[in-house]
Amino acid sequence: MHLDLPVVVVGGGPAGLMAAQGLGEAGHTVHLFDGMATVGRKFLLAGKGGLNLTHSEAAAPFAMRFGSRRTALEPLLNDFGADAVRAWAQSLGVNTFVGTSGRVFPTDLKAAPLLRAWLARLRHPPQGAPVQFHMRHRWLGWDDQNRLLFNAPQGEVRIQAQAVVLALGGGSWARLGSDGAWYAPLQARGVDLAPLLPANCGFDVAGGWSPFFAEKFAGQPFKTVAITVPGEHADAAPVFQRKGEFVATATGVEGSLIYAASQVLRDALLRTGRANFHIDLLPDMAPERLLAEVRHPRGSRSLSSHLKSRLHLDGIKTAVLRECVPKATFDDALALAAAIKAVPIALGASRPLDEAISSAGGVRFEGLTEDLMLKQLPGVFCAGEMLDWEAPTGGYLLSASLATGYRAARGVMNYLRAV
């Protein structure tokens, strides 16, 4: 089947839906194609944790969360930032609130009502043109006549479009449609791409946990701890230091605190083949007091009972000490106190890309115009997580995806006016 269509959006995640909304409201007839049976699957999955829409912090620190890609993303976030995200949700009848951590959520903490309202708006807009949805259309790239090629229930579909927005997601969560299959077709067209890497991911410890630790403590949290990722040299300042929580897995570690440090840990593994961090098991206790408590006479009590009584140190915290600290340390109060403040954890590998919350890598901004059009392929725009950026959890991922979709829509309009 062959179709001639004016504007095509490929991908029904937040970036693609936002691009479709902007174009439809401007009066363009938009046809949105997605390989899955329904749109917004990863969006709905994010809602299981409360749907963190954005973050309330000021614009400058917000933009700093994007690291080396701050320069590329900051203009887009200035156009459609946290306040715009909240106003957009409000326009769909969804109120938001700021949580204690500064994160912004819908008042009902659910994704489904917001997605339903969004799709209703796209299909029946108060102004402009409705978006036409084509589901179970998996994009395969281009044919030899530069037409978009899809595998659909009715067979191959070839589409000649005036402008295209590709918003196909990153490389994680393949079962929800974000499988990175777009990488090869773009690479074949000479598009400037960075390798896809796991972001906001867990790690395997080097050599694995002992069978005892893995069996007894996998799935248990390290609560009220701090981790430090040291610099490459002994006298260098730490490259990461934060208090929070994370979880032991059967093979390593994951959870919010690990995800926050994942970029520096992953990059160290890629650069040197090794990475490590230290756990402060009692971050709220000064080293001097800790040493005094360890040295306190314990009489006939075992060391484990002593640590539990004096420091409330037991369970997984005591176990990780035994797991990662040499036996001789427990006979030396000074060394034991130092170890409690800095349990060494050596990492061997990142967890696989498909397990990561998000991905890094993809279409480099250097190969895009300011309107997110591919320099190699005029009329083809990219948005969302398939672009080469990464950010921590906390609303930043969704905010940037929406901002890139918003900018891509504007780019398409600029392009169509010029041709």
Structural domains present in the chain = 2-198+360-418 (3.50.50.60), 203-350 (no CATH)
The pLDDT value given to residue 47: 77
Q: 326: number of CA atoms within 13 Å, CB side?
A: 6
> Please, what sign has the CA dihedral across residues 200, 204, 210, 216?
positive
Non-local (6+) Cβ contacts of 263 within 8 A are 67, 199, 360, 390
Of 139, 143, 151, the residue nearest 179 (C-alpha):
139
Contact 392, 221 (CB under 8 A): no
Of 85, 91, 96, 66, the C-alpha closest to 14 is 85
Percentage with pLDDT > 70 across the chain: 99
User: Of 69-73, 83-87, 231-235, which range is least confident?
Assistant: 231-235
Q: 55 - beta bridge partners? A: 103
Q: What is the mean pLDDT of residues 46-62?
A: 90
**153-209 pLDDT per residue, tens:** 999 999 999 999 999 999 988 888 889 999 999 999 999 999 999 999 999 999 999
Mean pLDDT, range 109-130, rounded to an integer: 95
Determine the pLDDT at residue 91. Answer: 97
What the block records as the tokens of 389 is: 């950026």
Q: Using alpha carbons only, give the angle 350, 354, 358 rounded to the nearest 5 degrees.
A: 80
Secondary structure of the chain as H, E, C letters: CEEEEEEEEECCCHHHHHHHHHHHHCCCCEEEECCCCCCCHHHHHHHHHCCCCEECCCHHHHHHCCHHHHHHHHHHHHHCCHHHHHHHHHHCCCCEEECCCCEEEECCCCCHHHHHHHHHHHHCCCCCCCCEEECCCEEEEECCCCCEEEEECCEEEEEEEEEEEECCCCCCCHHHCCCCCCHHHHHHCCCCEEEEEEECCCEEECCCCCHHHHHHHCCCEEEEEEEEECCCCCCCCCCEEEEEEEEECCCEEECHHHHHHHHHHHHHHHHHCCEEEEEECCCCCCHHHHHHHHHCCCCCCCHHHHHHHHHCCCCHHHHHHHHHCCHHHHHCHHHHHHHHCCEEEEEEEECCHHHCCEEEEEECHHHECCCCEECCCCCEEECHHHECCCCCCCCHHHHHHHHHHHHHHHHHHHHHHHC
120 has pLDDT over 80:
yes
Where is average pLDDT lowest: 84-88, 211-215, 263-267, 304-308?
304-308
Name every residue whose Cβ is closer than 8 Å to that of residue 228 and which is 6 or more positions away in sequence. 238, 240, 241, 277, 278, 280, 342
What is the rounded CA–CA span in Å between residue 144 and residue 355? 35
Using an 8 Å Cβ cutoff, are 261 and 393 in contact?
no
pTM of the model: 0.93
Say if CB 387 and CB 363 are below 8 A apart: yes
Give which of 32, 2, 5 is closest to 405, Cα–Cα: 32
353 has pLDDT over 80: yes
Q: Which two tokens stand for residue 268?
A: 């160290």
- Mean pLDDT to the nearest integer, 361-371: 98
Say what the pLDDT of residue 259 is.
96
- In whole angstroms, give the CA distance from residue 221 to residue 361: 30
What is the pLDDT confidence band of residue 3, given thresholds at 50, 70 and 90?
low
d(CA 239, CA 223): 22
Rounded Cα distance between 266 and 252, Å, is 14
Owner of token pair 């395997």: 204
* Residue pair 294/331 in contact by the 8 Å Cβ criterion: no
> For 2-24, what is the mean pLDDT?
92
Distance CA 40, CA 205 (A): 34
- 201 neighbors 50 (Cβ within 8 angstroms): no
Cβ pair 50, 101 in contact under 8 A: no
Residue-averaged pLDDT of the chain: 95
Q: Give residue 232's pLDDT.
A: 80
> What is the separation, in whole angstroms, between the first and last Cα of the chain?
26
For the cut 90, the answer to whether the pLDDT of residue 50 exceeds it is no
